Amino acid sequence: MQLQENARNLSMRWRYIKEGIFFSVVRLSVLVIVLALGGLLFYIVYNSYQAISWEFLTEPPTDAMTKGGIMPAVLGTIYLTLGAILIALPLGIMSAIYLSEYAKQGAMVRVIRLGVNCLAGVPSIVFGLFGLGLFVVYFKFGASILSGSLTLGFLILPTIIGASEEALKAVPQAFREASLALGVSKWQTTYRTVLPNALPGILTGSILGIGRAAGETAPIMFTAAAFFTVKLPSSIFDEVMALPFHIYVLATAGTHIEETRPLQFGTVLVLVALVLSVDLVAIVIRSAVRKKKRW
Amino acid sequence: MVNVQDGSVIKTVHVNFFYGNFKALTDVTMDFRQNEVTALIGPSGCGKSTLLRLLNRMNDLIAGSRVEGEVLFEGENIYGSTIDPVEIRRKIGMVFQKPNPFPKSIFSNITYGPRLTGVMSKADLEILVEQSLRQAVLWDEVKDILSRSAMMLSGGQQQRLCIARALAMKPEVLLMDEPTSALDPISTAKIEELIQDLKKTYTIIIVTHNMQQAARVSDMTGFFYIGKLIEYSATDKIFTRPDVKQTEDYITGRFG
């Protein structure tokens, strides 16, 4: 009797110890992530705060990019990102509608879906070369906002398709049935009931993908980004400076790499702030929708 | 309205139905008479809901399903190659087991169908909303909150809203798939009362698990068992002196 009790106590204690270990490991993982992220942000801010000023944001670089601001690069990144959204969002949403609402679920759709997922795993430099070959050279768009936007658009297409499909699937089947049973056509059902209910989810997922596109360097290196240009773009066929490429240039190809460290970090801070504020929009949309959602 | 001579609006002729390889209905031949309530009863999985969804081609949505035989609506086979299922669903409305209002205002729930299937003026829509809600005996409860979300209503109110929504399309037939199974007894009583009113104007076919409900609301009752129509006759007869032993066993609660 006593022996059994002891054994039980022992196994009980062992269970507590195991639980303790597990909790510590889990907690430690979170700590590592928070420290890494916090450290990164602190490091950037610490190294860049002297560089940040109103002029830095509103003026072009001067003196062989050792002084002045980064305004053309900020503008270029915004153009490229907006262009990518205009291309990828409609294309991605419509593809997702086809895949989840219209296509007959079978081998064919599985293959397409697999292809889309593979596309998501393709390294961004490959997209850059693809864009160079197709848009810059073959279509003769040159290195331009158009080529860069198209390339970035294709880069984020899998993310948008994936997010849209998820969001469409999350719309209750009962809504579709209710609409169809009223004698409303399939297209109208999709357009009037399924899509509006999926849109917040689609946007949230897509915006997160777009944030990523804003920070990509490789895809725009050959297709859109200029090493240096004072001239602001006047059409979509002009090349532009862009924040990620500007950082790369300053840090590797400049004439005074050491002296321009604050400029580099300043640019990094602006880019990070830009990406995070895009993500913030997604978070705000999501929380607003969660409050409203009632099914 | 075109009527078939024997007064039936819908008629199924030797209907078989398959989900892939599974045969869910076997040789069902029955007719549904105008301005009557027909109840379909039977244990779970007997095919009664399948039959109901066959009548307005809602089963089309299920991949790998197949129909054999004919379903005649006003004398025409709705599975004919020239028939547009959307048109059929407009004439044959449906109310589902779980209330499924759209996450929109009460007003927009009613006007959703009419707006998308024919242009209507705002004044016409307002009349239609009042008419439909009155028919569904919901008007007095919601007339002051038409712009509020339908999701705020109680389950019973939501179900009556769904009925009103179906009525707004001015269908000829109303299919009801266990419309009260998710509702409390008071809401259930209201809906049953409503069915009695509606049958003056519409032909109603209702699937129910509730035997008392079938006995209370229907004129005709069909008993299904494993995909077959076992017995089909006047409700009074089915519930007092059924011809088939299986029917009697089921309604007296000996199985099912």
Q: Answer positive or negative: Cα dihedral of A84, A86, A92, A95.
A: negative
**Region A106-111 average pLDDT:** 89
CA distances from A201 to A62, A206, A286 (A): 43, 8, 7
Inter-chain residue contact A184 with B86, CB threshold 8 Å: yes
What CA–CA distance (Å, rounded) separates B47 from B200?
28
In chain A, pLDDT over 70 holds for what percent of residues?
Answer: 96
> What is the structure's pLDDT at B40?
95
Closest CB to A182: pick one of B61, B103, B165. B165
> What is the structure's pLDDT at B203?
94
Which stretches does DSSP call E strand in B20-117? 22-33, 37-41, 65-73, 76-77, 92-95
Q: Any CB–CB contact under 8 A between A196 and chain B?
A: no
Inter-chain residue contact B117 with A178, CB threshold 8 Å: no
Q: Residue A117: is its pLDDT beyond 70?
A: yes
Chain A CB contacts of B112 under 8 Å are 179, 182, 184, 192-193
In the structure, what pLDDT confidence band is assigned to residue B6 with cuts at 50, 70 and 90? low
- Number of residues assigned to chain A: 295
> What is the structure's pLDDT at A213?
85
> What is the structure's pLDDT at B2?
43
Q: Any CB–CB contact under 8 A between A177 and chain B?
A: yes
- Domains in chain B: ranges and CATH: 8-102+172-251 (3.40.50.300)
Q: Which of A105, A184, A191, A193 to mutate to test the interface with B (most CBs of B within 10 A)?
A: A184
Per-residue model confidence as pLDDT tens digits over A136-153: 889 988 888 999 999 999
How near does any CA of chain B get to the CA of A163, in Å?
22
Per-residue model confidence as pLDDT tens digits over B71-102: 999 888 999 888 999 999 999 999 999 999 99
Q: Residue A66: is its pLDDT beyond 70?
A: no
> What is the structure's pLDDT at A210?
85
Nearest CA in chain A to B86: A183
Mean pLDDT taken over chain B? 90
Global confidence as pTM: 0.82
Burial class (CB in 10 A: 0-12, 13-18, 19+), A138: exposed
- Number of residues assigned to chain B: 256
